[in-house]
């Protein structure tokens, strides 16, 4: 928050400005008793008393536009002020380019605020000009690579105006910087899902990319989740992709006990059971074992969940055994 205190030497209260003396300030209507009354600074009270007056009179003027700037600076989350400012911009035919520069500045000061990003989006829509959005969001993501608002604005601009061209490089760099940045992985999915498409080739390429990253660190949930996400689009499913299954079994053989690996193998078993395609590695018995290992050793915080899953697989295991028995009886 910017300083709204009285240290602001050059500040003149609206009530002391001659160009505003035709306006009667409207104090907040608090009712007879105090309820969640905020101890505002004198400046805050003054600015908002005049903002309420302008709003009440529906005054559409340059000075009102300027007033909304002061109001927004004191509280950038005031959606009423932003909405009224947009109404003013329209009514006055203000140069939207300078407004774009202005909101960029506000975004730099309050990058985690719904209203400022929405204002930006409306301006870009009005101008039909997304040429600065990748840079603007790129800057915000440099400061905070997981800033949800910045990503959301970026996705909107990319999707609305078809700006996919260099996005994969952008994402690659972010994942290289921090392979645990889940927002970057999500953006990767966004690009393939909305632009490149899940062709067999793309699916295999994404799988290879992800397996490389998992080799690098095995406890990275982001990469494991992405792998599962990609495999939604593999016609052979989770259990039918030999590259993936052998990769997982290799890790397991080499004593890797990352809970995400074990969970992934459980998912492979689950799919195999559901498809009726169990084999010596992927079956209900294995799933039961892995759930127990997770519950008691490798993922204890989630023991309740793994025990719950375990019970589900035990039922499947019972069926598997019944089937085996039946088959054996038939042989006799």
Partner 1 sequence: MENRIRCYEEISSETFDTENVVTDSSSDQVDVEAVILKIFKQFEKSAEIEPEFPVIRKRVHCQLLKDYLRTLPQKYECLDASRTWIVYWVLHSLSLLNDMPDAETLSDVVKFLTLCQHDDGGYGGGPGQYPHLGTTYAAVNALSIIGTEEAYNSLDRSSLQKFLWTVRDVDGSFALHKGGEQDIRGAYCAVSIAKITNTYTDALFDKTAEWIVSCQTYEGGFAGCPGMEAHGGYAFCGIASLALLNKTHLCDVDALLRWCVNRQMRLEGGFQGRTNKLVDGCYSFWLGAAFPIISAILSQENKELLETVLFNQGALQEYVIICCQALPGGGFIDKPGKHRDVYHTCYALSGLSVAQHGTGAGDPFIVGRPSNELNRIHPLYNVAPHLAYNAVHYFIRHPPPVKDKN
What's the min distance (Å) between Cβ of 59 and partner 1?
A: 15
Nearer to partner 1, 178 or 325 (CB): 178
**Rounded-to-integer distance, Cα 211 and Cα 308, Å:** 29
Q: Which residue among 102, 164, 209, 305 contacts partner 1 (CB under 8 A)?
A: 305
Q: What is the DSSP string of 67-114?
A: HHHHHHHH-TT-HHHHHHHHHHHHHHT--HHHHHHHHHHHHHH-SS-H
In the complex, what is the shortest distance from the CB of residue 155 to partner 1, in angstroms, rounded to a whole number?
A: 5
Site string for partner 1, 191-230 (x = CB under 8 A): --xx---------------------xxxxxxx--xx-xx-
Residues 108/124, Cβ–Cβ less than 8 Å: no
Stretch that binds partner 1, among 94-102, 173-181, 197-205, 318-326 (CB under 8 A): 173-181
Q: Which two tokens stand for residue 279?
A: 């084999």
DSSP-derived 3-state class of residue 130: coil
Q: Is 7 in the site for partner 1 (CB under 8 A)?
A: no
- Phi (first) and psi of residue 215, to 5 degrees: -55, -40
241 contacts: CB under 8 Å, gap ≥ 6: 207, 231, 234
* CB nearer to partner 1: pick between 132 and 152: 152
Say whether residue 114 binds partner 1 (CB under 8 A).
yes
Which listed residue (117, 170, 247, 313) binds partner 1 by CB under 8 A? 117
CB nearer to partner 1: give 6 or 325: 6
Comparing CA positions, the residue from 43, 35, 36, 48 lying closest to residue 8 is 43
Residues 299-321 as b or e (16 or more Cβ within 10 Å = b): beeebeebeebbeebeebbeebe
What's the closest the beta carbon of residue 332 comes to partner 1, in angstroms?
A: 36
Nearer to partner 1, 102 or 189 (CB): 189
Closest contact distance (angstroms) between CB of 156 and partner 1 is 8
Distance CA 28, CA 23 (A): 16
Binding to partner 1 (CB under 8 A) within 235-274 occurs at: 263
Stretch binding partner 1 (CB under 8 A), from 116-124, 201-209, 244-252, 283-291: 116-124
User: Looking at residue 16, what DSSP letter applies?
Assistant: G
Residue 241 vs residues 227, 248, 262, 279: alpha-carbon distances, Å: 12, 11, 17, 14
d(CA 259, CA 188): 24
Work out which of 9, 18, 33, 253 binds partner 1, going by CB under 8 A: 33
Catalytic residue among 90, 112, 159, 274: 112
Q: Is 112 designated active site?
A: yes
- CB 112, CB 147: distance < 8 Å: yes
Complex with partner 1: residue 136 or 327, whichever CB lies closer: 136
Least gap, CB of 15 to partner 1 (angstroms): 19
Subset of residues 39 to 98 that bind partner 1, contact rule: CB under 8 A: 39-41, 44, 48, 52, 55-56, 74-80, 83, 86
Number of residues that bind partner 1 (CB under 8 A): 78
Is 292 near partner 1 (CB under 8 A)? Answer: no
Q: How far is the CB of 301 from partner 1 (least distance, A)?
A: 4
* Residues acting as catalytic residues: 112
């Amino acid at each position: 928050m910017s300083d709204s205190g009285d240290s602001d030497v050059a500040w003149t209260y609206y009530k002391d400005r001659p160009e505003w003396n035709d306006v009667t300030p409207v104090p907040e209507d608090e009712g007879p008793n105090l309820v969640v009354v905020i101890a505002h600074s004198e400046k805050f009270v003054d600015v908002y008393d005049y903002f309420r007056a302008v709003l009440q009179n529906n005054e559409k003027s340059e000075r009102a536009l300027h007033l909304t700037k002061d109001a927004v600076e004191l509280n950038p989350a005031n959606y009423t002020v932003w909405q009224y400012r947009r109404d003013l911009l329209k009514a006055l035919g203000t140069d939207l380019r300078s407004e774009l520069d202005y909101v960029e500045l506000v975004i730099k000061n309050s990058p985690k605020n719904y209203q400022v990003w929405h204002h930006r989006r409306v301006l870009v829509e009005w101008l039909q000009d997304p040429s600065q959005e990748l840079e603007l969001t790129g800057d915000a993501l440099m400061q905070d690579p997981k800033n949800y608002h910045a990503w959301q604005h970026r996705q909107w601009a990319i999707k609305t105006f078809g700006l996919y061209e260099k996005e994969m490089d952008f994402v690659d760099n972010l994942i290289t910087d921090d392979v645990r940045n889940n927002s970057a992985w999500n953006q990767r999915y966004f690009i393939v899902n909305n632009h490149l498409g899940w062709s067999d080739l793309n699916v295999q390429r994404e799988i290879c990319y992800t397996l490389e990253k998992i080799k690098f660190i095995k406890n990275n949930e982001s990469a494991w989740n992405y792998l599962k996400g990609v495999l939604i689009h593999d016609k052979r499913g989770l259990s039918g992709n030999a590259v993936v299954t052998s990769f997982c079994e290799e890790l397991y053989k080499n004593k890797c006990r990352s809970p995400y690996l074990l969970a992934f193998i459980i998912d492979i078993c689950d799919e195999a059971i559901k498809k009726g395609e169990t084999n010596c590695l992927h079956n209900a018995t294995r799933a039961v074992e892995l759930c127990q290992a997770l519950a008691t050793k490798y993922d204890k915080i989630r023991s309740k969940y793994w025990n719950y899953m375990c019970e589900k697989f035990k039922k499947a295991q019972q069926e598997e055994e019944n089937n085996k028995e039946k088959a054996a009886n038939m042989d006799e």
